[in-house]
Amino acid sequence: MNIEPVIILTNICNHKCIFCSRKDKEPIQSDEEKKIIVKNYTDTISFEGGEPTLSRDLIKWVRIAKKNRIREIMLVTNGFSLDREDVVRALLDAGVNVFNINFPSHIERIYNLLTDSCDYTKTVNSIKNIIKIVGGNRLRITMVLNKLNYVSLKDYFKFIKTNFGDIFYTEINMIKVKGRVKNRLYLVPRLSEINKFLIAGLNEAKKLDLKVISDGIPLCFMSGFEELNIDVFNLLYLKNRWNKEKQKKSVCNNCGLKKICSGPRKDYVKLYGSSELKPVKDEYQLESIIERMNFKYEKKMDK
């Protein structure tokens, strides 16, 4: 299929995130298009927005997805209204089994600046409420890396572990040069700029036994942590080719990891070029990554 397993329920949002990659008036799928997605995907469907909890149709479509036996029904949200127990329980009963919360910074001032809101405390309370009612194993927290937050990544992981404990995982995504970001290019850091902070942060997460995945960061900038890149898992285990936003460049042809790397984001290369990419020459690196991946998922299967 050439469609993404994402249902956009509304363009309305209570936040005006300055790093948002969606257009302010991005088209909403018709009911017929939503039905096609629900009928053709059995693994994961993601309900998104805008802010999906502001849609009157959220519960209805979650129930339809549950009726069609979708294994993972994910709600991608900024946490609006999820500090209320009745709201979380209603979503849980309807069929949501993974809550994905946008949490761009653990520093209140930076969070409020990035989201153009004053909802830091409300969002933290929403996360804690989900953990209390649903459990941390159904919670995913997402941070979009940008100029205002990447230097604090190490402390961000410490905050997540200290305040929220063991959760499903934390996802670190490279900012997209789309939507509102097109008018705020200062928010887009270079890969070479974030590299040492990313590695330091991932080392800290490892020490804390905090599960992390990443998206949009080529493997040559994830030395020692390549197995945390979502595309590695997709290419090795799911054979998933939904990578239309990324593309290998000519320099990638000489990289020993090209079989398991999707390359940089196209919008990033359009902005900064590909001169920063560093082909991996170590012929044993690919084998080492695959061994780590196999160990990780064999261990998971044994539990």
pLDDT of 294: 76
**pTM recorded for the entire structure:** 0.92
pLDDT of 1: 46
Its CATH architecture, for the domain 6-215, is Alpha-Beta Barrel (3.20)
Where do the domains of the chain lie?
Answer: 6-215
pLDDT of 233: 79
Burial of 107 (0-12, 13-18, 19+ CB in 10 A): middle
Low-confidence residues in the chain, pLDDT < 70:
1-3, 238-242, 295-303
CA–CA separation, 104 and 193 (whole Å): 18
pLDDT per position as a tens digit, 186-244: 999 999 999 999 999 999 999 999 999 999 999 999 999 999 999 887 777 765 555 78
pLDDT of 203: 98
The tokens describing 57, both together, are: 């149709």
| Residue 1: how many other CB atoms lie within 10 Å | 9
In this structure, which amino acid lies at residue 272?
Y
pLDDT of 295: 63
How many helices (H) does the chain have, and how many strands (E)?
10, 7
pLDDT of 302: 46
